[in-house]
Amino acid sequence: MEQRVIVRGAPALYYCETGILDKLDCLLQPYTYKRVLVVHGDRSLKAAKPFFPKLTKLTLLYLRYNGECTLEEARRIARYAQAEQADVILGVGGGKVMDVVKAAGNEAQLDTILVPTLASNCAAWTPLSVFYNEHGQFTNYTIFPKSTLMVLVEPRIALQAPVAYLRAGIADTLAKWYEADVLIRKLEHPSIAIQIAHHSARLCQSTLLEHGRQSIQDAETKQLSAAFVQVVETIIMTGGMVGGFGDHLGRIAGAHSVHNGLTVAPETHVLLHGDKVAYGILVQLVLEDNLPEVQRLLPFYLGMNLPYRLTDLGLSSQDTATLKNIASGTTHPNESIHFMKSGITADDVYQAIVTLEHAISES
């Protein structure tokens, strides 16, 4: 794989602290920004509004997004921002809000500020957007030439979010290590940027294995603990740095291809993205002939209530046809599983699923 990478390491400014949104006037003062277009979903605005400044000299213009990150939605928001003479676009919400605001800012040539309300992915950190059609089907992703101006994390907002999103975010970020490592470790002389990506990926794994279970317990009891904040920052910041510094060597490999393959089975549609990626990590490890690491991860999966068996995904080991369809989807010619090594076939993936099932039943 080509080692040359484009480094897009970080937003211009990043804050993770309680009360950060109350300082919005001070944060924007150096830029002389006065008119702020706030793009939001219904639940995200309700979650974040109590933390916005009570007294402000800013003009806050609120615009609800249409629920999907499409090219047309990004253009609609950009046109609205221009018509309202907004100085900056501020996104409040989950990954799709983050992505559509980045795209709208690029279209309108305006700076963006991102306020994630969920610790479920690193979308707030990365200068790219994943686009879907109006039916929610993936179409493409675009990397922008300019990073976000600010990422403002108010941890108390994430603490109020459904715990399932945090659990899924932990699983998705755990995959950063396994997917980056399988790509980077084969390089004889990785560049400094790629080494930063590799170390960041390892930090994702070590922090999540150490603090993941505690962060879930604290989220369930609404305790703003050091463990919870560390996990939130790992998902948003450290996870974002893996791709930010590693580019194509720090994004996705086998685990995410398995996720994509699983989407061909309607039974899996009720699962969150990170839950399917969690299972994908285990299948990737089997493909790497690394069953000892599967066994090492199982107690963590059990403690976190992450899926590790087909029944956890609503599937059956007896349904060979569905499993082979999943394996076929996993190994589509455009899938990232082929970055691991060339020649991985649908039968290889099917056999890995079967092997994983047997290994778990015997443990």
Strand 138-143, strand 128-132: pairing: antiparallel
The residue with tokens 């079967």 is 354
Are 28 and 3 in contact by the 8 Å Cβ rule? The answer is: no
Which helix (H) or strand (E) element contains residue 295?
A: helix 291-304
259 is catalytic: yes
Taking Cα atoms as reference points, which of 166, 136, 118 lies closest to residue 269?
136
Catalytic site residue from 111, 172, 218, 247: 172
Strand 138-143, strand 111-116: pairing: unpaired
Catalytic site residue from 40, 198, 211, 259: 259
10-38: burial string, b at 16+ Cβ within 10 Å, e else: bbeebebeeebbeebeebbeeeebeebbb
Strand 111-116, strand 150-153: pairing: parallel
Taking Cα atoms as reference points, which of 344, 357, 141, 163 lies closest to residue 257?
344
CA atoms within 13 A on the CB side of 159: 18
CA atoms within 13 A on the CB side of 223: 10
The residue with tokens 């003479």 is 85
Catalytic site residue from 40, 198, 211, 273: 273
Distance CA 47, CA 51 (A): 8
Distance CA 311, CA 291 (A): 20
> What residues contact 126, with CB distance under 8 A and at least 6 apart?
8, 240, 243, 244
198 is catalytic: no
Catalytic site residue from 99, 111, 256, 275: 256
- Active centre residues (catalytic): 172, 256, 259, 273
